[in-house]
Amino acid sequence: MVVVIAHAPGAVAAGTNIDIPDWAPKIRELVAAIKVTLSDATVAGSIANLTVVSETPASGQIQLVDENTYKLGDDTTARDLIILVYVAKGEYSGA
Say what the pLDDT of residue 11 is: 97
Task: For residue 18, give every residue at least 6 positions away whose Cβ sits within 8 Å of its Cβ, in sequence order, or none.
Answer: 7, 9, 12, 69, 70, 71, 72, 76, 82
Asked whether the predicted pLDDT for residue 95 surpasses 60, the reply is no
pLDDT at 54: 96
What digits encode the pLDDT tens for the residues 46-93?
A: 999 999 999 999 999 999 999 999 999 999 999 999 999 999 998 775
Band (94; pLDDT cuts 50, 70, 90): low
Predicted confidence at residue 1, as pLDDT, reads 76
> Per-domain residue ranges for the chain?
2-88
Question: Taking the mean position of all CA atoms in its chain, how far away is CA 17?
Answer: 11
Pairing state of beta strands 69-72 and 17-19?
A: antiparallel
* pLDDT of the residue at 43: 87
3-29: average pLDDT? 96
